[in-house]
Chains A and B, each alone.
Chain A
């Protein structure tokens, strides 16, 4: 049972280049999330999805797009990378139900360290 898998683990981009980060989960979770983590800022929500075919904006969505064509995968795209997008990106997933039962725990991937030069 792999849990949440993110690829790639590291990437260096030049300003203006594009890339896609892939997140895959094998726990049959309905909800999936993309966060970025910067020093002194904590985890900030970029986009999230409450089910296959649905996506929604989080706290810091500008410059990113997402897609959830399959329940187990959540893709994060950078169309034209900027130095301000240098960060560590974490994907997470959780069940949708079970509020109050603890079933809405988020499980995180190992992260993608992205540098934009």
Chain B
């Protein structure tokens, strides 16, 4: 079956570092995405991994291990505006489903002053 797991909620302090984990079991794999979604708004793209390793983009980094079905999103120097939900999504890589994205339920991050 298709399954993506991520923690429901996390809390961290302004200026700290937080790591949000995502594990997945999908029939195919063609890339893993992280999206940020503020309350009442649309998801916006944060990062993309298709090969194993770390992708860094400013205060945000994302890691992928395809053999372990595992990814994490690392947020450094947390700011209050980082309070949002973070969605992990896998693009299906099977022949019949290359166009589909499977989303996790999201991790709600609260940043405290």
**A residues adjacent to B (C-beta < 8 A):** 31, 33, 35, 40-45, 48, 50, 56, 58, 90, 96, 99-100, 102, 104-111
Asked if residues A42 and B33 are in contact (CB atoms below 8 Å), the reply is: no
Question: Least Cβ distance of A95 to chain B in Å?
Answer: 11
Complex interface: chain B residues within 8 A of A44 (CB): 103
Alpha-carbon gap, A43 to B41, bound state (A):
13
Complex interface: chain B residues within 8 A of A31 (CB): 99
Complex interface: chain B residues within 8 A of A102 (CB): 48, 50
Alpha-carbon gap, A110 to B42, bound state (A):
5
Question: Least Cβ distance of B54 to chain A in Å?
Answer: 15
Q: Using a CB-CB cutoff of 8 Å, which residues 67-107 of chain B contact chain A?
A: 87, 89, 91, 98-101, 103-106
Asked if residues B45 and A50 are in contact (CB atoms below 8 Å), the reply is: no
With contact pairs A42-B106, A99-B30 given, residues A106 and B101 touching in the complex (Cβ less than 8 Å): yes
Alpha-carbon gap, A111 to B38, bound state (A):
12
Alpha-carbon gap, A106 to B103, bound state (A):
12
Complex interface: chain A residues within 8 A of B99 (CB): 31, 48, 50, 56, 96
Complex interface: chain B residues within 8 A of A108 (CB): 42-44
Complex interface: chain A residues within 8 A of B41 (CB): 110-111
Complex interface: chain A residues within 8 A of B31 (CB): 99-100, 104
With contact pairs A48-B100, A100-B31, A110-B42 given, residues A43 and B87 touching in the complex (Cβ less than 8 Å): yes
Complex interface: chain B residues within 8 A of A58 (CB): 100
Asked if residues B50 and A43 are in contact (CB atoms below 8 Å), the reply is: no
Can you spell out 29 A-B residue pairs with CB atoms less than 8 angstroms apart?
Answer: A33-B101, A41-B105, A42-B4, A42-B87, A43-B43, A43-B87, A43-B103, A44-B103, A45-B100, A45-B101, A48-B99, A58-B100, A90-B42, A90-B43, A96-B99, A99-B31, A100-B30, A100-B31, A102-B48, A104-B31, A105-B33, A105-B45, A105-B48, A106-B43, A106-B45, A106-B101, A107-B45, A108-B43, A111-B41
